[in-house]
Structure 1
Amino acid sequence: MKLQLAGPLTRLGGLIALAVFVLDQATKIGVMRGVDFGESGIVPVAPFLDLVVVWNTGISYGLVPLGTEGWWVLALVQLAASAAFVFWLARVDRRLEAVALGLLIGGALGNTVDRAAYGAVFDFLSLHAFGWRWYVFNIADAAIVAGIILLIYDSFFGHAVKSPPSNES
């Protein structure tokens, strides 16, 4: 397996990473600047979805909170992971793997920008049903979870189906 920095699967993963990053940052800025949370701090959007404001100083879903002073530790970890995913992306030979890595890269970079800009990650989506609430998250978080699920699926089932070879050099 060779390193293809400009191969079609690398470009696919890169475009997905860019799309996730832009969508994540655009939604965060839109919610921060355009939503009036009023006294309650909650804006109902649908029977199962609210907009809220949560500043996550920890790892996924607020685990291991480091406070706003420790933002750089998690930002460095996210940047290192992103670099490793980019290297991995340059070596993929399956479309699903490229998509998954693009989701992971875009999500990690989206949350890294938050940490650098604000000292914490801005989470605002709150899903709930039947009295049960999920952790508050953002687009980057959803992309990371989807990327992990796709990589797990690909590790079990993806090796049987490789993407067709490219005529590009």
Structure 2
Amino acid sequence: MSLPAGLAVAAATLALDQALKAWASSGAMPENGYAPIAELGGLGLGATLVYNPGIVFGMVLPEADSRLLVIVLAAAIASVVLVRMVRSRRILLNVARGAVVGGAASNIIDRARVGAVVDYLVVHTGPQVRFVFNLADVAIIAGALLLFAAAAAYALLPGKPA
């Protein structure tokens, strides 16, 4: 039961993120521009189209030739998480693993297909501070945080070795 749940989350994350990337790339969003979605105090959410050759949230890689290294590293991490998902019977952990695998797979597809990750969401706290990302990035971070929280909770259980 837990493996199908994890695989369903991975497939849904991959499909939805790729659909949003295709929509953003079709001209629906301004390239390197900003279309506001919501503002709350000094925090704004908007849409944009950015081809990010770097890593998460628009961080730039040290060299342009590191694309293959990033693909291999992301694929290795996603593979390890997928193997852990196959071996686990914990549904919540497999849902978190599915989010990581689906997000990583979507970003790997972008890097292999267009040489960069397609980002389409922007959060800003002012005119200069902004973070550009996509659903895959959100899934990877949310899944990883859930896995870290579960590991911390497990470590704190009474009777477990330190």
| Structure 1 and Structure 2 fold alike (TM over 0.5) | yes
Match of 2:13 in 1: 20
CA distance in 1, matches of 2:153, 2:128: 33
What's the TM-score once normalised by structure 1's chain length? 0.80
One-letter code of the match for 1:98?
N
Q: CA deviation at 1:129?
A: 4.1
Preserved contact between residue 59 and residue 65 of structure 1 (Cα < 8 Å): no
Same amino acid, percent of matched pairs: 32
Distance of aligned partners of 1:63 and 1:92 in 2 relative to their CA distance in 1, 3 Å threshold: farther
Gaps of 5+ in 2: 158-162
2:152 alignment partner AA: F
Structure 1, unmatched stretches of 5+, are: 1-7, 161-169
Pairing partner for 2:56 from 45, 60, 67: 60
Report the Cα distance in structure 1 between the residues aligned to 2:87 and 2:53, rounded to whole angstroms.
33
Q: Distance in 2 between matches of 1:121 and 1:66?
A: 16
User: How many matched pairs?
Assistant: 151
TM-score with structure 2 setting the length:
0.83
Give me the CA root mean square deviation.
2.1
Over residues 54-78 of structure 1, what are the superposed CA-to-partner deviations in whole Å (9 max), with x where a residue is unaligned? 22212323242442x4322211111
Kept in 1: contact 2:3–2:89 (CA 8 A): no
In structure 2, C-alpha distance between the alignment counterparts of 1:18 and 1:58, rounded to whole Å: 24
Whole-Å Cα distance in 2 between the matches of residues 87 and 108 of structure 1? 14
Contact in 2 for aligned 1:96/1:158 (Cα 8 Å): no
Go from structure 1 to structure 2 and tell me whether the alpha carbon gap of 1:119 and 1:130 turns closer, same or farther (over 3 Å shift): closer
Taking a change above 3 Å as real, the CA distance of residues 111 and 36 of structure 1, as seen in their structure-2 partners, is closer
Say which of 122, 125, 131 aligns to 1:126: 122
2:33–2:48 contact (8 Å) kept in structure 1: yes
Q: Is the 8 A contact 1:126 1:133 kept in 2?
A: no
Q: Is the 8 A contact 2:13 2:103 kept in 1?
A: yes
